[in-house]
Protein backbone atom coordinates (compact mmCIF):
# COMPACT_ATOMS: atom_id res chain seq x y z
CA UNK A 1 0.00 0.00 0.00
CA UNK A 2 2.74 2.45 0.99
CA UNK A 3 4.83 1.63 -2.12
CA UNK A 4 1.83 2.04 -4.44
CA UNK A 5 1.07 5.46 -2.93
CA UNK A 6 4.71 6.47 -3.21
CA UNK A 7 4.76 5.43 -6.89
CA UNK A 8 1.59 7.47 -7.60
CA UNK A 9 3.14 10.55 -5.97
CA UNK A 10 6.35 10.06 -7.97
CA UNK A 11 4.36 9.71 -11.20
CA UNK A 12 2.45 12.93 -10.54
CA UNK A 13 5.69 14.73 -9.75
CA UNK A 14 7.29 13.53 -12.98
CA UNK A 15 4.26 14.63 -15.02
CA UNK A 16 4.35 18.10 -13.49
CA UNK A 17 8.12 18.44 -13.89
CA UNK A 18 7.97 17.17 -17.47
CA UNK A 19 5.45 19.76 -18.60
CA UNK A 20 7.33 22.75 -17.21
CA UNK A 21 10.73 21.89 -18.65
CA UNK A 22 11.57 21.95 -22.31
CA UNK A 23 14.96 21.38 -23.88
CA UNK A 24 16.39 23.71 -26.46
CA UNK A 25 16.80 22.02 -29.82
CA UNK A 26 20.38 21.98 -31.09
CA UNK A 27 20.54 20.63 -34.62
CA UNK A 28 24.00 19.39 -35.65
CA UNK A 29 25.07 19.16 -39.27
CA UNK A 30 28.35 18.25 -40.95
CA UNK A 31 29.29 20.52 -43.85
CA UNK A 32 30.85 18.95 -46.94
CA UNK A 33 31.67 20.93 -50.06
CA UNK A 34 30.73 19.58 -53.48
CA UNK A 35 33.61 18.00 -55.40
CA UNK A 36 35.87 20.63 -56.95
CA UNK A 37 34.50 23.49 -54.80
CA UNK A 38 35.81 25.22 -51.68
CA UNK A 39 32.59 26.75 -50.43
CA UNK A 40 28.85 26.44 -50.05
CA UNK A 41 25.76 28.42 -49.06
CA UNK A 42 23.29 26.90 -46.63
CA UNK A 43 19.72 28.24 -46.43
CA UNK A 44 17.85 27.37 -43.26
CA UNK A 45 15.81 28.71 -40.34
CA UNK A 46 15.92 28.81 -36.53
CA UNK A 47 13.21 29.67 -34.00
CA UNK A 48 13.28 30.69 -30.37
CA UNK A 49 16.08 29.13 -28.34
CA UNK A 50 16.87 26.56 -31.06
CA UNK A 51 20.26 26.68 -32.78
CA UNK A 52 22.17 24.93 -35.53
CA UNK A 53 25.78 23.79 -35.16
CA UNK A 54 27.62 23.28 -38.43
CA UNK A 55 30.82 21.24 -38.21
CA UNK A 56 33.48 21.90 -40.84
CA UNK A 57 36.85 20.14 -41.06
CA UNK A 58 39.73 22.53 -41.84
CA UNK A 59 43.52 22.46 -41.66
CA UNK A 60 45.92 24.74 -39.81
CA UNK A 61 46.86 27.77 -41.91
CA UNK A 62 43.75 27.71 -44.08
CA UNK A 63 41.50 30.77 -44.20
CA UNK A 64 37.83 30.19 -43.41
CA UNK A 65 35.32 32.85 -44.42
CA UNK A 66 31.84 32.92 -42.88
CA UNK A 67 28.99 35.22 -43.91
CA UNK A 68 25.54 35.12 -42.26
CA UNK A 69 22.67 36.99 -43.93
CA UNK A 70 19.21 37.35 -42.38
CA UNK A 71 16.46 39.94 -42.08
CA UNK A 72 16.42 39.30 -38.30
CA UNK A 73 19.00 41.61 -36.67
CA UNK A 74 19.17 39.33 -33.59
CA UNK A 75 20.61 36.35 -35.50
CA UNK A 76 24.33 35.68 -35.02
CA UNK A 77 26.99 33.00 -35.27
CA UNK A 78 30.01 31.92 -33.25
CA UNK A 79 33.02 29.91 -34.42
CA UNK A 80 34.52 27.47 -31.92
CA UNK A 81 37.79 25.57 -32.38
CA UNK A 82 38.02 21.85 -31.59
CA UNK A 83 38.17 21.28 -27.81
CA UNK A 84 37.82 24.98 -26.99
CA UNK A 85 35.57 26.23 -24.21
CA UNK A 86 35.22 29.74 -25.65
CA UNK A 87 34.40 30.98 -29.13
CA UNK A 88 37.25 31.86 -31.48
CA UNK A 89 34.87 34.37 -33.10
CA UNK A 90 31.71 35.88 -31.58
CA UNK A 91 29.33 37.36 -34.13
CA UNK A 92 27.22 39.25 -31.58
CA UNK A 93 30.33 41.28 -30.74
CA UNK A 94 32.21 41.34 -34.05
CA UNK A 95 29.48 41.15 -36.72
CA UNK A 96 28.06 38.56 -39.08
CA UNK A 97 30.99 38.24 -41.48
CA UNK A 98 34.59 37.24 -40.92
CA UNK A 99 37.64 35.53 -42.32
CA UNK A 100 39.81 33.71 -39.80
CA UNK A 101 43.15 31.97 -40.23
CA UNK A 102 42.77 28.50 -38.73
CA UNK A 103 45.25 28.01 -35.87
CA UNK A 104 45.05 24.20 -35.66
CA UNK A 105 43.58 21.41 -37.75
CA UNK A 106 40.25 19.85 -36.82
CA UNK A 107 36.48 20.21 -36.93
CA UNK A 108 35.40 23.78 -36.24
CA UNK A 109 31.81 24.51 -35.21
CA UNK A 110 29.80 27.42 -36.60
CA UNK A 111 26.87 27.90 -34.21
CA UNK A 112 23.91 29.91 -35.60
CA UNK A 113 21.53 31.23 -32.96
CA UNK A 114 19.08 33.98 -31.98
CA UNK A 115 20.00 36.35 -29.16
CA UNK A 116 18.03 35.87 -25.96
CA UNK A 117 15.80 38.93 -26.52
CA UNK A 118 14.48 37.45 -29.80
CA UNK A 119 14.48 33.85 -28.56
CA UNK A 120 12.38 34.78 -25.53
CA UNK A 121 9.75 36.28 -27.86
CA UNK A 122 9.71 33.08 -29.93
CA UNK A 123 10.97 34.86 -33.05
CA UNK A 124 12.15 32.90 -36.05
CA UNK A 125 14.84 33.79 -38.55
CA UNK A 126 15.46 32.49 -42.05
CA UNK A 127 19.10 32.82 -43.08
CA UNK A 128 21.79 32.15 -45.65
CA UNK A 129 25.12 30.97 -44.27
CA UNK A 130 28.01 31.12 -46.74
CA UNK A 131 31.16 29.17 -45.87
CA UNK A 132 34.37 29.31 -47.87
CA UNK A 133 37.79 27.77 -47.17
CA UNK A 134 41.04 28.49 -49.01
How does pLDDT run along the chain (134 residues), one tens digit per residue?
545 443 454 443 434 333 333 457 999 999 999 999 999 999 999 999 999 999 999 999 999 999 999 999 999 999 999 999 999 999 999 999 999 999 999 999 999 999 999 999 999 999 999 999 99
What's the whole-model pTM score?
0.81
> Among residues 131, 96, 95, 115, which one has the least CA distance to residue 46?
115
Q: CA angle, 131 as apex, 125 and 134 as ends, to 5°?
A: 165
Sheet holding 63-70, edge to edge: 39-47, 124-133, 63-70, 97-101
Neighbouring C-beta atoms of residue 72, cutoff 10 Å: 16
Domain ranges of the chain: 24-133
> Among residues 58, 57, 97, which one has the least CA distance to residue 77?
97
> Among residues 32, 75, 20, 35, which one has the least CA distance to residue 52?
75
- What is 24-133's CATH topology? Jelly Rolls (2.60.120)
Amino acid sequence: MFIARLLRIAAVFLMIAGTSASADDIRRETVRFAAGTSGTTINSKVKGYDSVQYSLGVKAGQKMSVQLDSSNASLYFNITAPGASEALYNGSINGNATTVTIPSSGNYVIDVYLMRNAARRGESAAYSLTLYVE
